[in-house]
Amino acid sequence: MRLSVFILSLFLLLRCGPEPIPEPQATILIAPANLNACTTASVLNEKERQVSFQWTAALHTDSYELVVINSLTNAKYEKSSSLLTESLVLPSGAPYQWYVNSKSLLTAAVGQSAVWQFYLEGSPAERYLPFPAVLIAPENESTVDLNASGAVSFAWEGHDLDQDIESYAIYLGRAENDLELVQEGLTVSQANLTIDSGTHYYWQIITVDSEGNTSTSAVFGFQTAD
């Protein structure tokens, strides 16, 4: 009888324990629009613009961290805010990536939004540089099977506001900082490559436009199954 009472008391105690702390949810980005020219920025001088960023409220969030990356220089700009809009002064004439982290005082967990890209215009006569390609497959840190021919299919998306992407080049390697050119002059955003099984690879795409301008994608890693 006493054992039954003890078990029941323990069950009720565990059942009435503290509720788990909810993690901050990801916000939804609003502006600047994805894969577009940012034409609403305030002109400060010949080389700089003040860009306003906007996003939606996220559940279980106390503050936000705006992160903006210059795709040409990899310079990173960060700003914390309790609001749903912030502005940054950025060099013009370059493509940018941006996202927002949702944060809470109650947990170390972070909710990250999608990553958007925009082009910050400079002089009216300049041509747009291509956006860094968006890598689709293989997904980052995924495990993939080789097909019957011992190959893996690679896919990505390329975007250029001038609509003048000339070609793509794909780089592949077994170390993130030691990638080798395996195909260039690709006019489609996909490729099949014969590679080894049971091996960890990294890959990257270089986009080239008709003016010879280039952009470099992120580096994704993946594992081939045995």
If asked whether residues 115 and 139 sit together in one domain, one would say: no
Last residue within a domain, chosen from 98, 120, 142:
120
d(CA 168, CA 133): 9
Last residue within a domain, chosen from 97, 120, 143:
120
The pLDDT of residue 127 is 81
- Categorize the per-residue pLDDT at 17 as very low, low, confident or very high, splitting at 50, 70 and 90: low
Q: Which amino acid is at 170?
A: I
If asked whether residues 95 and 155 sit together in one domain, one would say: no
Look at residue 12 and tell me if it is in a domain. Answer: no
Instruction: Supply the Cα-derived Rg of the chain in whole angstroms.
Output: 23
**Enclosing domain of residue 115:** 29-120
Look at residue 24 and tell me if it is in a domain. Answer: no
Taking every pair of C-alpha atoms in the chain, what is the biggest distance, in angstroms? 88
Look at residue 13 and tell me if it is in a domain. Answer: no
If asked whether residues 218 and 142 sit together in one domain, one would say: yes
Contacts of 41 (CB under 8 A, 6+ apart): 49, 50, 51, 52, 90, 92, 120, 121
Last residue within a domain, chosen from 90, 120, 150:
120
d(CA 176, CA 173): 7
d(CA 42, CA 145): 49
If asked whether residues 198 and 144 sit together in one domain, one would say: yes
* Total tally of structural domains belonging to the chain: 2
3-state class (DSSP) for residue 14: helix
pLDDT in tens, 38-94: 988 999 998 999 999 999 999 999 999 999 999 999 999 999 999 999 999 999 999
pTM: 0.83
Look at residue 170 and tell me if it is in a domain. Answer: yes
Residue 5 clears pLDDT 60, i.e. is over it: no
CATH code: domain of residue 66: 2.60.40.10
Look at residue 8 and tell me if it is in a domain. Answer: no
Residue with token string 């390697």: 173
CA proximity to 129, closest of 87, 73, 194, 195: 73
If asked whether residues 159 and 192 sit together in one domain, one would say: yes
Q: Are strands 142-144 and 220-224 parallel, antiparallel or unpaired?
A: parallel
